[in-house]
Amino acid sequence: MAATGTDDEAPGRASAGDGADPPRRRGKPLGTLDAARREMERIYWQLKHGDIELEKGKGLIYVLGKIVEVIKAEDAELVELLRKGRERLE
């Protein structure tokens, strides 16, 4: 455990009282496939125009791909729960 924090704090991470910059505000939520697609599109255009470095863009796209996988898995789980619910009602 860190001397000033808890077990879940990452080493070198700024905390509220250490005088570091405040945490950046989150962007739009990525809870839908359309939102993730739009974010991927935004990153694509930033890469195309040289606004962000290739390695950073690749990392962002990779993470967005993982978010898409989770959204699809959640959707499949909901479909299965609905199917089971309908079977119980019949």
DSSP, residue by residue, 57-90: HHHHHHHHHHHHHHHHHHHHHHHHHHHHHHHHH-
Q: Which residue has the higher pLDDT, 89 or 22?
A: 89
How much is the pLDDT for 3?
A: 47
| Structural domain boundaries enclosing 58 | 33-89
Contact 69, 41 (CB under 8 A): no
Mean pLDDT of 71-90: 93
Closest CA to 40 of 13, 17, 9, 71: 71
Confirm whether 5 is domain-assigned: no
Confirm whether 23 is domain-assigned: no
How much is the pLDDT for 18?
A: 57
Categorise residue 12: left if φ over 0, alpha if ψ from -120 to 50, beta otherwise: left
* Residue 29: pLDDT band with limits 50, 70, 90: confident
Percent of the chain whose predicted confidence (pLDDT) is above 70: 72
Confirm whether 8 is domain-assigned: no
Mean pLDDT of 44-50: 96
Q: How many domains does the chain have?
A: 1
Confirm whether 84 is domain-assigned: yes
Confirm whether 85 is domain-assigned: yes
